Amino acid sequence: MSAESMPEDSSATGARRRGKGRRRKPPSRGRKALVVTAWAAAGVIVLGGAGLGYTYFKLNGNIKSVDIDQALGSDRPEKVDNGSQNILVLGSDTRSGSNKKLGGGTDDGTARSDTAMVVHVYEGHKKASVVSIPRDTLINRPSCTDTKGVKHAAASGVMFNSAYSTGGAACAVKTVESISGIRMDHYIEVDFSGFQELIDELGGVDVTTTKDIKDTESHLDLKAGTHTLTGQQALGLVRTRHGVGDGSDLGRIQLQQAFIKALVDQVNQLGVLSSPKKLFDLADTATKSITTDSALASVKDLASFAAGLKGISSSNMKMVTMPVQYDPANANRVIVEKPKARLVWAAIEDDRAIPASATKGTATGEAKGVVASG
C-alpha cells in the first residue's frame, strides 16, 4: 500500500529504546484493517448481537489465547493512554498438524513467525499505520519468560523470528517492544492452514500481477495478469521469496502488503453480511485460525475490539517496512537502519503519521508494484 495514503508528518522526537541490528484499486470503504482477524471480529459482532446463544459459545470456544501480560510482567515500555492502540500481528508456520505440509520441514511441533506486523490504530480509530518487521533482521534478542514460565536467555546478532521459535508469543512481543520502545496493547496470531481456509471461504481474492511469479517452494505459478487466488495460491503468494524481486524477505513483505490491500478491497464487495450461513462459516473458520492475548480471548472482547476498527478504510492505512539495509556480511540478512527506524517508532509513539523520510532510500526487496488489487 502506498505511502501517499496518509498525510506526511516530517517531525520526529528523540531516540527510543531499540534492538541492535546486524543484517540484509481505487480503495473503497474498508471495514477493517487487520486482514484475516478482522473478519473473525466482524462475524462475532453480528452473530453476538443477534443473540444466538449456541453460536456465541461455539465461536467463543474456538478462540485460543495466551496471557502476555502475566508472562512479561512490569518490565515493559509504559502504556500510552492517548486513545491509540498498538497490535502485534504474527503469521506463524507451526510445523505440526495440518500446517506441516503448508509450512514444510519436520513434524516436530516447532514454529516460526514468517510474518510480523505492528498495526498502530490512531486516536479516533479512523486510520492506521502498519509496520512490517522483516523476519531476517539481525537483532539483539532480550531475555524473556514465556507463557509457561520458562526463562530464555538473551542472544546477540540473531534473526528476529528466532524470538517466536525460542519463547513463543510472549518472547515475540518482548522482542518487538525492545526494538521499538513501544508497548503492544494486543497480540493476534494467524496460522497457515487457517489463512488458507479463510481465503477459500471468501471465494478467493482477485489480484493482478504485472510480472510472472513462479516459485516451486511456495507451489506458486502465476502468469502476468489478473487472477482469483485460491487459499493455497494466496498462501503461496504471501510466503514466496524466490518468485519476485531480489529473492529476499523484503520482496515477500512487499507482496504481503499488496495482498492485504487487495483482500481489504475485495471484502468490501462481497456482501457476506447478507448471508447468515456464509457469515457463520467465515466467523467459525476465522476464530479457529487465531490466537489472541487474553484481553481479546472472548467473542464479546473481540467484537468490542473490532467495533473500534470498522471505520478504518484501506485508503486510510499506510503500510511500510521497518527501515533496514542489507547486511554487508550476508546478503540474506538485513540490519536495522537505526536513525530512520527511530523516526518510524517515534511517530507511532506520538500518534503521528510516519514521515516519508523515514523509509526513503531503505532496502525494499525490489518487488513493489508486482501485485495490485484486481
The per-residue pLDDT for 108 is: 38
Residue 257 lies in a domain: yes
The per-residue pLDDT for 54 is: 63
Contact 302, 310 (CB under 8 A): no
- In degrees, to the nearest 5, what angle opens at C-alpha 179 toward C-alphas 359 and 153? 150
CA distances from 129 to 41, 161, 295, 311, 348 (A): 19, 21, 22, 14, 8
Residue 43 lies in a domain: yes
The per-residue pLDDT for 100 is: 46
**Comparing 27-31, 81-85, 209-213, 306-310, which segment has the lowest mean pLDDT?**
27-31
**Comparing 142-151, 162-171, 286-295, which segment has the lowest mean pLDDT?**
286-295
Per-residue pLDDT averaged across 350-373, rounded? Answer: 83
Q: Who has greater pLDDT, 107 or 289?
A: 289
Q: Say how many domains are in the chain.
A: 1
Could you give the CA distance from residue 109 to residue 17 in angstroms, rounded to a whole number? 33
Which residues are CB-contacts of 186 (< 8 A; sequence separation ≥ 6)? 85, 86, 87, 88, 292, 293, 295, 296, 305
**CATH, residue 171:** 3.40.630.190
Could you give the CA distance from residue 110 to residue 287 in angstroms, rounded to a whole number? 22
Residue 304 lies in a domain: yes
- Within 13 Å and on the Cβ side, how many CA atoms surround 277? 0
pLDDT above 70 covers what percent of the chain? 72
Q: Who has greater pLDDT, 237 or 269?
A: 237
Per-residue pLDDT averaged across 209-235, rounded? Answer: 88
Average pLDDT, whole number, for the chain? 78
Query: Is 120 strand, coil or helix?
Result: strand
Residue 372 lies in a domain: no
Residue 374 lies in a domain: no
Residue 82 lies in a domain: yes
Percent helix / strand / coil, the chain, rounded to 5: 40, 20, 40
Containing structural domain, residue 314: 3-10+17-364
Could you give the CA distance from residue 25 to residue 129 in angstroms, rounded to a whole number? 19
Give pLDDT tens digits for 141-162.
Answer: 999 999 999 999 999 999 999 9
Per-residue pLDDT averaged across 311-326, rounded? Answer: 86
Residue 240 lies in a domain: yes
Tell me the chain's radius of gyration from C-alpha atoms.
Answer: 19
In this prediction, residue 367 has a pLDDT band, given cuts at 50, 70 and 90, of: low
Residue 369 lies in a domain: no
Give pLDDT tens digits for 176-209.
Answer: 999 999 999 999 998 877 888 888 888 888 888 8
66 burial (CB, 10 Å; 0-12 / 13-18 / 19+) is buried
The per-residue pLDDT for 298 is: 86
Could you give the CA distance from residue 217 to residue 93 in angstroms, rounded to a whole number? 14
The label of the residue with cell 533496514 reads 324
